[in-house]
Structure 1
């Protein structure tokens, strides 16, 4: 994974984009494309659909450049805009794709086992077990954990991305972590009995 663009650099690029600099928007797109694609694939499994939505986000940004507003966090803003774009595109065919995501929508979690970072088989095994445990959670809870711990978004940013209140984010995170603990304990108990 490429190095994340520092927030202050992203702010500078956003200001340059608002001033009419097409290269600044291109730099923003290049810097965040992989994260946006990864995020989009969690919301919808069609790669080409997600790529098209990302492209539309940046085309629309450029077209609305004269009226573009300042944003507090470029990265979380792009997450919100992409999610909105995906929902809007899916809403055009309401029979096969509902406009709003229900609490139990399919949000998949998959960790990459980068061999440079994870060299021990035990760690890879634990990572796979964590994936299994996380995939028992409802989609909304998986999305929240992904945004908080994988994307390092703040509670306010998560609230914006998920269209929730800040307190709801806290409550849902507590519920998610409690559920993870229960599932993890249930998964690990047979292993402890086997090896003890």
Structure 2
């Protein structure tokens, strides 16, 4: 069951196959959880929202659309789901009131640490530089490099057009290259 294509896995889920649901849950829970934490910044809220999200998917499985690839659907649906949950939650609504178009994602240096000593400086500063990027650029970077989504899938997830994803990604990488070059010059 684990080696099935997304299309067959999704079809099996829609037909009520509990093992397909388990595979879907195991395959996507970690990356959706990390994405939810970036959006909500709250462990408990993220876990509750993700549990509710998967229950919702299973309970409404007969009404789900046919899909060839699952990731963009799950990321975009969960994004909307957790934003609604945050905005409905009185504890967060006053403070956060998230705009569905602008999710504020921040990175930690640990997310960029590699085992090569020569890149330690770059990795620590990369997180700092990424956090200085505009919100939309940070979210595109996160979905591209941490969730391994393609530009088309990012467009579906963020509900923006493909060219906007390409342009945003290009601007973000260009800004990061320029800032890293400046940092390297200063520390030379």
- TM-score (norm: length of structure 2): 0.87
- Matched residues in 2 for 1:113 and 1:171: separation? 23
- Matched residues in 2 for 1:183 and 1:99: separation? 29
What's the counterpart of residue 74 of structure 2? 78
Structure 1 unmatched runs, 5+: none
Question: Is residue 57–residue 85 contact of structure 1 (8 Å, CA) maintained in 2?
Answer: yes
What's the counterpart of residue 108 of structure 1? 106
What's the counterpart of residue 42 of structure 1? 38
Structure 2 unmatched runs, 5+: none
1:179 aligns with 2:178: no
How far is 1:66 from its partner? 1.7
1:137 aligns with 2:124: no
Q: Deviations over 1:93-116 (max 9, x none)?
A: 44333241464x5311234467xx
Question: Is residue 80–residue 100 contact of structure 2 (8 Å, CA) maintained in 1?
Answer: no
Question: Is residue 50–residue 78 contact of structure 2 (8 Å, CA) maintained in 1?
Answer: yes
- TM-score (norm: length of structure 1): 0.84
How many correspondences in the alignment?
183
What's the counterpart of residue 188 of structure 1? 184
Question: Secondary structure in 2 aligned to 1:108?
Answer: coil
1:96 aligns with 2:95: yes
CA RMSD of the aligned region, Å? Answer: 2.1
Question: Is residue 10–residue 28 contact of structure 1 (8 Å, CA) maintained in 2?
Answer: no
- Matched residues in 1 for 2:112 and 2:97: separation? 33
- Matched residues in 2 for 1:180 and 1:99: separation? 26
